[in-house]
Amino acid sequence: MEKRYSLHGFIIVEGEKSLWWIQHLGDFYDTGEMIYIEGRAYIYRRYDVTLLGRSRRMKVDKELTSFDAVEEYLETLPKWNKTKYYVKLADLELFSLLECESGESVYSEMNPEILRSLLTGEEPK
């Protein structure tokens, strides 16, 4: 059974053996159906970070038909609190480590090393 969480515009889906994210992008050619992308997510416990990986699929959502409907749905979900921080793989080069609770960018001297290690799988020095 899957559990769904809200994370600053993302839906985090926790399955029995996998974790993935969903992000709605907009109306699909003015059809009244929202288009969304999804991809795998990974938890790095050592750094208390959720990594939102590359988008793998693009789909049409026939149930949520507007950004207002998406926002209302996100508000019904519990907040993601399994890690303190999150980062999108696409933003790794910007060293934008974000706080799960506030969505604010967090900077420390370790950010570049931590984020590089997530990208390469290497341990920071």
The verdict on residue 85 lying in a domain is yes
pLDDT of 62? 77
The verdict on residue 31 lying in a domain is yes
Domain that holds residue 32: 3-120
Which helix (H) or strand (E) segment holds residue 50: the answer is: strand 49-61
Global pTM value? 0.80
| Choice between 100 and 124, residue whose per-residue pLDDT is larger | 100
Q: Are 83 and 50 in contact (CB under 8 A)?
A: yes
The verdict on residue 34 lying in a domain is yes
Handedness of CA 15, 92, 76, 28 (dihedral sign): negative
pLDDT of 96? 73
pLDDT digits (tens, 9 = 90+) for 11-65: 999 999 999 999 988 877 777 778 888 999 999 888 888 989 888 788 888 788 7
pLDDT of 107? 64
The verdict on residue 125 lying in a domain is no
* Count: domains in the chain: 1
Q: Enumerate the β-bridge partners of residue 85.
A: 49, 99
pLDDT of 35? 85
pLDDT of 94? 55
The verdict on residue 43 lying in a domain is yes
The verdict on residue 94 lying in a domain is yes
Sole residue written with tokens 């933003």: 91
* pLDDT beyond 60 at 122: no
The verdict on residue 33 lying in a domain is yes
Give the percent of the chain with pLDDT over 90.
35
User: Which amino acid makes up residue 118?
Assistant: L
User: Which amino acid makes up residue 46?
Assistant: R
Using only C-alpha atoms, the chain has a radius of gyration, in whole angstroms, of: 15
Burial of 51 (C-beta count, 10 Å sphere; 0-12/13-18/19+): buried
Q: What is the mean pLDDT of the segment spanning 74-100?
A: 83
Side-by-side strand order, sheet with 10-14: 3-7, 10-14, 19-27, 34-44, 49-61, 85-88, 97-99, 105-106
Q: Closest Cα partner for 44 from 98, 115, 125? A: 115
